[in-house]
Amino acid sequence: MARVLITSAIPYINGIKHLGNLVGSQLPADLYARFQRATGNEVLFLCATDEHGTPAELAAAKAGKPVEEFCAEMHEVQAGIAKGFGLSFDHFGRSSSPQNHALTQHFAGKLAEAGLIREVDDSQIYSHADGRFLPDRYVEGTCPNCGFEKARGDQCEECTKQLDPTDLINPRSAISGSTDLEVRATKHLFLCQSQMKDQLDAWINSKADWPVLTTSIAKKWLHDGDGLQDRGITRDLDWGIPVKKGTEDWPGMEGKVFYVWFDAPIEYIAAAGEWAEANGKTDADWQRWWRTDMGADDVKYVQFMGKDNVPFHTLSFPATILGSGEPWKLVDHLKSFNYLNYDGGQFSTSQGRGIFMDQALEILPADYWRWWLLSHAPESSDAEFTWENFQQSVNKDLADVLGNFVSRITKFCRSKFGEAVPESAPYGEPEQALIADLTSRIRAYEQHMENMEVRKSAQELRAIWVAGNEYLQSTAPWSTFKTNPDLAATQVRLGLNLIRLYAVLSAPFIPTASEALMQALNCDDSSWPADVEAALSTLPVGHGFSVPENLFAKITDEQREDWQERFAGTRD
């Protein structure tokens, strides 16, 4: 049994996320976690809310609540939505936790001891209209590299170039829109990433199996222009983790907090500590996942994220871990995704464009969204959500292929043999041909899942469903029954066992529907099909079942048109 540590990019606390965020990190991470558990591996799947920085302060102010209260409430909201989508986190933590405070300060102390943090007399944008310093994310302007007019002061979303607020052309406050800005002197701590460039380059070069998207972004940051730059890790804010060297005060840094992009990835580790505490476990229980001197050498660590998060996870966070000089586990595989666009435009939390996760669950069950998003995951290029494509995929894949197969077999069996697996002859030549085909396809499906090839996994799973329909169509038990009831019983027995097999194989993609099938079959044997022929004899003769209700309702043209108008790309 292997051990697999899985983290997905942690969502900001400042609002409910859209479907682009979901498919870019949490959902494919859940797919992989469910598959690994199903095949018998030990999994620790961690996520959290990212609660520090100006986004949290501003959202709390807009809501008229203290920031601590706002974050606590929004954490519960996001946790509830994640549960609604069937995201199977072992722990959904908070970056404001005591564990993350202690670990972030610990790492800062170790980096300082290693000579990898320097104090810099810096300059920061001050907004007279807002009466405050503006963190880099809250300065907007034109990117000097590509000309994108809505670049942020830390990074351009268009070309992904790392920026400083003073680099922007025609800068303005993202809070008020004011251009009455002033550059003021302040002092900050910088992580000396430039000293670790060669070490990080060698480490990235060793990851031959990483997606091209991941390594190309990392290499761009390492080598383009002036190469890897030192990065500020403190901010002039009230809300965040106070700057300390371990447990000691840091002279000159009074009143400052660590930059959210320094403490947020450390929360991956801290979340394991939170998980241990919440479940009555010891420090050794979580450290065996994260410290190589405590047994984490045999852990496979996989991260999932959108491409905009790649630089911080391939460079800054590894620089923190490596620079500490301590035996922390580094990521083994970083699965990154392109963007999911919305109906001719872009999803954008800041601009309120697209379908948000709470809205999606209000109109359709989670499995509808899970299937479409995963089967259209933006792996090799950006993808686009359209209502027409969504309707077509749900109706053809879920309703016509999987749902129709389940309905035809269970209803036919009930009408001719009752609600129990009929007694029948051993499987014959058509059944053996199907078993051989399924065996080949299931092994391919497993390999795609292991390789985190999300779209290919979905395509293979659909082909497995189609194979059952083709068998049913070619053998036609409803016709066979008229002349050879015993043979029809054999075909039905295979079909009922196929439903169980489909429920097991489909659970990582559509867990709610899979659970409903298992309940209808009165079966709790969810063992993965190492031997497909044996798996297709799991339900014995006489085993009772019930006919499930319509597994997937088709989306009508009227519904599609209504939703297309209702979610036209804006959100109040």
CB–CB of 153/168 below 8 Å? yes
- Annotated binding residue 349: yes
Q: State CA 337 to chain mean position distance.
A: 10
Question: Cα separations (Å) of 187 from 117, 132, 236, 246?
Answer: 13, 16, 9, 20
Question: Cα separations (Å) of 34 from 37, 112, 331, 424?
Answer: 5, 40, 19, 34
- Annotated binding residue 54: no
What is the token pair recorded at 562? Answer: 């209504």
Alpha-carbon dihedral sign for residues 380, 385, 388, 393: positive
CB–CB of 452/380 below 8 Å? no
Q: How far apart are CA 56 and CA 14, in angstroms?
A: 5
HEC string of 305-322?
EEHHHHHHHHHHHHHHHH
Q: How far apart are CA 53 and CA 46, in angstroms?
A: 21
What is the token pair recorded at 118? Answer: 């320097």
Residue reference for tokens 């199903």: 38
CB–CB of 463/441 below 8 Å? yes
Nearest to 533 by CA among 396, 451, 461, 440: 440
The secondary structure element, H or E, covering residue 81 is: helix 67-84
What is the token pair recorded at 528? Answer: 């993965």
Going by the DSSP 8-state scheme, the letter that residue 155 receives in this structure is B
Neighbours of 467 (CB within 10 A): 16
What is the token pair recorded at 472? Answer: 């049913």
Question: Cα separations (Å) of 481 from 123, 282, 378, 403, 545?
Answer: 83, 61, 46, 23, 20
Which three-class secondary structure state does DSSP give residue 571? coil
Residue reference for tokens 């959904």: 92
Neighbours of 552 (CB within 10 A): 24
Upper half-sphere CA count for residue 450 (Cβ side, 13 Å)? 10
Q: How far apart are CA 331 and CA 302, in angstroms?
A: 6
Residues 193, 194, 197, CA angle at the centre, nearest 5°?
A: 90
Neighbours of 94 (CB within 10 A): 22
Cα Rg of the chain (Å, integer): 26
- Annotated binding residue 159: yes
Neighbours of 415 (CB within 10 A): 11
**304: phi then psi, degrees, rounded to nearest 5:** -125, 135
- Annotated binding residue 156: yes
Binding residues for ATP: 349
Query: Which residues are annotated binding-site positions?
Result: 143, 146, 156, 159, 349
Residues forming the annotated binding site for Zn(2+)?
Answer: 143, 146, 156, 159
